[in-house]
């Protein structure tokens, strides 16, 4: 098999002397080729015309550098693989952010089309087959170089976005949210001006970045904004969307990507009105995450509100006050014997008949009062888990009442 140089069969190339002669003839018309290329870009691509003069001049430099690079490569005494990275090095990095990869491919295609047309018009007939074969190989390398540049830019942008997202999440969770943090969150795609919820769970053991992107995809499909970051052994997710204010909506959304977390409890904080208020949801979610080990049978995910007893026992003052003020006090203020009925019912082994005898009322009266307790507090005394929460609320209410 004939020797090759990165796809070129050397035996098919003319001699170095012949290539040098063709190269000199080609070099004499590179200026005209560059001018014709820019004119063709203006005729073909409306988006090119809409660019400002600075960006059009950069693209002109790239086209000219590409044509000159082809001439230089073709004229080398010893043919080697064309080095096309220098072609794009003639333009600043800003150009890669101004035009897309698809637009860059269009420019490369237009440039090659014009060069091939110019070869047929201005070069001697004997030179044309050789130059057409060479430009075909050179254009392929040029396209690969463009793809490599954009791939590197995407990697750098992805890495920068991940670092920025981690900083934003950390600031939000620590309660240091200001206008600058909100602005950075907006650049990361956060558009919610209303309800936010914090979800905390164990970080996945492998590929946490992929887990975060998978969660982002699931949240986007659910119509929610999402920010996420790994903090030590925890994965913290912030969800945003007006519908999260609905009861259990956040837990239902989290259930769709809960398997992206590592093994262990996943706790959903309470909804708050704005991203600025996210520390309150964070505090409850982190407290629940620390205390969840005391309730291994808890659902996954579990609302931080459902972990109030465990959080209170683990030292969470907010949980203790919530049990006392949100459950005990409403019962005490509701009257109608609800508080006494609850105490008696729990003290008599959750037996309706035993409580009725102790209270000297009919069993149906006890049943009615138990339903009222559920309406007032949201917890049903006949449910074992709810009864545990109510018992804790009674104890803390007695301790914390003024």
Structure confidence by residue, pLDDT tens digits, 123-182: 888 888 888 888 877 777 776 766 666 666 555 455 555 677 778 888 888 877 777 777
Mean pLDDT of 303-315: 95
Percent of the chain with pLDDT over 90: 38
Cβ neighbors of 22 (< 8 A, separation 6 or more) are 14, 74, 75, 123, 127, 130, 131
CA 174 vs. chain centroid, Å, equals 20
Over its C-alpha atoms, the chain yields an Rg (Å, rounded) of 35
Least confident segment among 131-145, 222-236, 292-306 = 131-145
Mean pLDDT of 371-382: 94
Give one DSSP letter per residue of 60-124, joined into a string: HHHHHHHHHHHHHHHH-SS------HHHHHTS-THHHHHS-HHHHHHHHHHHHHHHHHHHHHHS-
- pLDDT at residue 399 is higher than 60: yes
Least confident segment among 87-91, 160-164, 243-247, 354-358 = 87-91
H helix or E strand, kind and range, residue 9: strand 8-9
The strand pairing partners of 234, in sequence order, are 202, 231
Least confident segment among 18-22, 150-154, 242-246, 317-321 = 150-154
Mean pLDDT of 36-42: 87
Nearest 5°: phi and psi at 225?
-80, 155
142: its two tokens: 């040029």
Least confident segment among 21-35, 169-183, 227-241 = 169-183
Mean pLDDT of 239-252: 90
Mean pLDDT of 372-395: 94
CATH number corresponding to 179-291: 3.30.70.120
**DSSP letter, residue 378:** S
**DSSP letter, residue 197:** E
> Can you point out the beta strands (E) in 147-300?
196-202, 225-231, 234-240, 267-268
CB 111 within 8 A of CB 37: yes
Q: Could you tell me the residue ranges of all domains in the chain?
A: 4-156, 179-291, 317-400
CATH (one of 3.90.1150.10, 1.10.10.2840, 3.20.20.70, 1.10.1740.10) for 317-400 = 1.10.10.2840
CB 138 within 8 A of CB 73: yes
The total number of residues shown for the chain amounts to: 402
- pLDDT at residue 302 is higher than 50: yes
Mean of all residue pLDDT scores within the chain? 83
Q: Which of 234, 149, 224, 233 is nearest to 194 (CA)?
A: 224
Angle between helices 101-122 and 128-173 (to 10 degrees): 170
């Amino acid at each position: 098999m004939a020797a090759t140089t990165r796809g070129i069969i050397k035996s098919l190339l003319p001699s170095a002397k012949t290539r040098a002669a063709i190269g000199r003839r080609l070099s004499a018309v590179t200026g005209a080729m560059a001018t014709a290329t820019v004119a063709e870009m203006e005729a073909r691509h409306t988006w090119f015309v809409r660019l400002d003069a600075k960006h059009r001049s950069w693209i002109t430099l790239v086209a000219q550098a590409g044509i000159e690079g082809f001439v230089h490569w073709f004229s080398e005494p010893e043919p080697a693989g064309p080095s096309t990275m220098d072609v794009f090095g003639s333009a600043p990095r800003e150009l890669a952010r101004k035009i897309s990869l698809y637009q860059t491919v269009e420019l490369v295609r237009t440039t090659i089309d014009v060069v091939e047309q110019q070869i047929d018009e201005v070069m001697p007939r004997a030179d044309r087959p050789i130059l057409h074969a060479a430009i075909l190989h050179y254009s392929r390398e040029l396209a690969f170089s463009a793809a490599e540049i954009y791939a590197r830019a995407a990697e750098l942008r992805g890495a920068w976005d991940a670092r920025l997202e981690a900083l934003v999440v950390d600031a939000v969770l620590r309660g240091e949210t200001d206008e600058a943090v909100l602005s950075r969150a907006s650049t990361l795609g956060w558009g919610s001006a209303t309800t936010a919820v914090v979800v905390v769970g164990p970080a996945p053991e492998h590929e946490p970045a992929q887990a975060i992107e998978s969660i982002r995809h699931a949240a986007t499909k659910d119509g929610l904004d999402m920010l996420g970051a790994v903090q030590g052994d925890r994965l913290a997710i912030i969800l945003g969307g007006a519908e999260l204010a609905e009861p259990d909506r956040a837990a239902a959304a989290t259930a769709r990507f809960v398997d992206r977390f590592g093994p262990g409890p996943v706790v959903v904080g309470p909804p708050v009105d704005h991203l600025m208020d996210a520390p309150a949801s964070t505090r409850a979610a982190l407290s629940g995450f620390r205390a969840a080990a005391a309730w291994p049978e808890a659902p996954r995910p579990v609302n931080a509100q459902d972990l109030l007893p465990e959080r209170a026992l683990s030292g969470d003052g907010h949980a203790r006050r919530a049990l006392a003020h949100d459950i005990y006090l409403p019962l005490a203020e509701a009257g109608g014997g609800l508080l006494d009925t609850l105490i008696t019912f729990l003290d008599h082994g959750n037996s309706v008949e035993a409580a009725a005898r102790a209270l000297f009322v009919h069993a149906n009266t006890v049943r009615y009062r138990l339903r009222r307790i559920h309406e007032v507090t949201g917890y049903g005394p006949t449910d074992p888990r709810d009864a545990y929460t109510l018992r804790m609320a009674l104890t803390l209410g007695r301790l914390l009442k003024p």
